[in-house]
Amino acid sequence: MASGLTRWDWRRPPAILVTLAAMLVALAVNHAGYRGGGADDWHYLEAARCAAAQHGLCVPQSHWWTRFPLVAPMAVAVALGGESRLSVGIVPLLYAALALVLLALLVERRFGRAEAIVAGVMMATLPTVSLVLLQPNVDTAELAFTLGALLMLQSAASSGRSRHALAAGALLGLAILTRPSALALLPIAALVCAATPALRRLALPAALGLAAPLAAEAIAAWLWTGDPLHSWALSLGHTDIPSAELPAGFHSARGPLLNPDYISAWRPAMGIRVHWTIDPILNLLANPAMGTLLIAALLLLTLRRPSPRDAEGRTLLWLLGAAILYFGAITYAFAIDPKPRMFLPVAAAAATIFAVQAVSSWRAGSRALVGTIAAVAIIFSLSYAAAIPDLRDLEAPAGQWVRELGPTLAVDDASRRFLTLVPGVRALPVDPPGAQRYMIVALGPCTDVARFRAGWQVERASALATASGEQASLCLFRRSEGPAAALPR
């Protein structure tokens, strides 16, 4: 054929399409989206609401509000489409899809199509990613900017063009604005540039690109508040906000940076306590939200050790070193709560390492072993995601009760955040004195809510069972008659 068109080969679909298909499978398994309650997504939604109402970004009231690369497009979506699960979830979905596409592109450029498919599928089905596909979060946004910066850095190394280095720096700057903990990427980027002769002469344009978004944010903060470091002060002060992840009454006179008090005080996600120096990594490896992928990657590294004498081996060792350095900076230098969501760059490195090792082992004849490890990891990840409670089905009865009972209803703060996308819930009074009816979201039966055992009775209840066998309930409590009824506290 003289047309120059490439015939589509369905037997060899592009890595990007396979990755996005895996994302859709993960989305079908659990597409809860906004969760509210005590999660960060409520704060991002509040910041977006303010920006949408003001037709422009609002002065940050907390460190959550400073995440402009997430808040700004969310505000646009809310302003254009109104408040709904679609308008609230579209921006995080696009960021997640972009991050997965960029990972597939990076791996395919460096290693090949098969490796890109494996890495993309492993990352798309990872619970730390799949459970926030529709939930407002900065994790996938930060990852998208980070991988975009790496892609531009890769292009700069091969082309020698300053504009690629400038773009790499700018994207890294946006990653830092998305979440300041991305500063942990700076020493890694510096080491990569120092070790790559083609990038050394491009350090200046990369630095200028990095400075541009940071300077723009500082100027905006100065014009808003008179303090160019306002957002940074909010971020450094995040530990002053009460957290259920710290012991009651915990306080450290020092800030969070390089503070072992915080490192040892954070509640371990999996309850493993041995010593504060190793608790973070033990709990991360044991956490099914990410640990399965990390263990699988480490297992294949052990079974087939990369050699520093060939390019592929050196790249894998670089990825391993970068992951260790990033984990150490987040956990020990910044003393941030070491939950899996903080380590998506580590997960991306693990997915790449696993993919390269798996494809090489498969081609070397170890198909049964590799296939078993990959299948177990993917099935385990999807099963874990399916077991996470999805409270969306409680919204329909909540909307009905609000329409029927209107201003006679009260809610507590957590339930208001859970149900904030239900029309009318935001207008309900929160913990008013002397309330006669309360609408509460509870994990478990309504009769188990300790706050409403004395002086209250269940007037209505709507329960749903989760895939893990647990129960979530929407409860309508009415104050019992008689002088013995106690006010809620």
Q: Using a cut of 0.85, tell me whether the model's pTM lies above it.
A: yes
| pLDDT of amino acid 354 | 98
Q: Which residues of the chain have pLDDT under 50?
A: 1-6, 482-489
- Phi/psi class of residue 406: alpha, beta or left (left: φ > 0; alpha: ψ in -120 to 50)? left
- 187-192, Cβ contacts within 8 angstroms, sequence gap of 24 or more: 187/325, 187/329, 188/322, 188/325, 188/326, 189/149, 189/153, 192/153, 192/318
Q: What is the per-residue pLDDT across 438-461, written as a single tens digit (0 to 9) for each? A: 999 998 899 888 888 888 999 999
Positive or negative, the Cα torsion across 143, 146, 149, 151? Answer: negative
The bridge status of strand 456-465 relative to strand 409-411 is unpaired
Residue type, 333: A
| pLDDT of amino acid 32 | 85
- 310-314, Cβ contacts within 8 angstroms, sequence gap of 24 or more: 312/111, 312/356
| pLDDT of amino acid 468 | 56
The residues with which 315 forms a beta bridge, in sequence order, are none
Task: Quote the CA–CA distance of 479 and 487 in Å, as a whole number.
Answer: 9
Exposed/middle/buried for residue 153 (C-beta within 10 Å: 0-12, 13-18, 19+): buried
Residue type, 37: G
- 36-39, Cβ contacts within 8 angstroms, sequence gap of 24 or more: 36/414, 36/417, 36/418, 36/419, 36/420, 37/414, 37/417, 37/418, 37/441, 38/244, 38/414, 38/417, 39/135, 39/417
Q: What is the per-residue pLDDT across 84-134, written as a single tens digit (0 to 9) for each? A: 999 999 999 999 999 999 999 999 999 999 999 999 999 999 999 999 999
In angstroms, the Cα distances linking 154 to 98, 133, 148, 158 are 17, 27, 10, 6
| pLDDT of amino acid 7 | 54
Residue 430 main-chain phi, psi, to 5 deg: -105, 115
| pLDDT of amino acid 10 | 60
The bridge status of strand 409-411 relative to strand 437-443 is parallel
Terminal alpha carbon distance of the chain: 78
Task: Name the average pLDDT for the chain.
Answer: 90
